Amino acid sequence: AQTVTQSQPEMSVQEAETVTLSCTYDTSESDYYLFWYKQPPSRQMILVIRQEAYKQQNATENRFSVNFQKAAKSFSLKISDSQLGDAAMYFCAYRSGPYQGAQKLVFGQGTRLTINP
């Protein structure tokens, strides 16, 4: 079974600075998808970024980017120019692929990110 580990329960960063959240996973599969979700105090889980394992290029979405190291099974999230609205719980998630059917997400424990003004 796949597992996802987020070793940082809490992180804090000054507004406008850069922060990196860590995620490692364990799998014997070669094809899969990785996601970062954000859960603000409103509890709405929002997709931040997605990475396909077969792609060597790291995904980027505006101020959010990942460092995907397939051999090391590492998938970190970098947030640049941190904003107060980035404060939330961040979850790393794994999905087996490329199956076409419904597939569960396996989540890490989450990292609570605080932005200091």
Applying CB under 8 A, the residues found at the interface with another protein are: 4, 33, 35, 37, 42-47, 50, 91, 95, 97, 100-110
Task: Supply the minimum distance, in Å, between the C-beta of residue 110 and another protein.
Answer: 7
Task: Supply the minimum distance, in Å, between the C-beta of residue 9 and another protein.
Answer: 9
Task: Supply the minimum distance, in Å, between the C-beta of residue 72 and another protein.
Answer: 21
Sign of the torsion formed by the C-alpha atoms of 13, 23, 107 and 70:
positive
Based on CB atoms, which residue is closest to another protein, 11 or 45? 45
- H helices of the chain, in order, are none
Based on CB atoms, which residue is closest to another protein, 82 or 106? 106
Based on CB atoms, which residue is closest to another protein, 19 or 48? 48
According to DSSP, the residues that pair with 96 across neighbouring strands are: 32
Residue 61 has which token pair?
Answer: 């979405």
- The length of the chain is 117
Based on CB atoms, which residue is closest to another protein, 109 or 116? 109
How many whole angstroms separate alpha carbon 8 and alpha carbon 21?
7
Radius of gyration, CA atoms only, the chain = 14
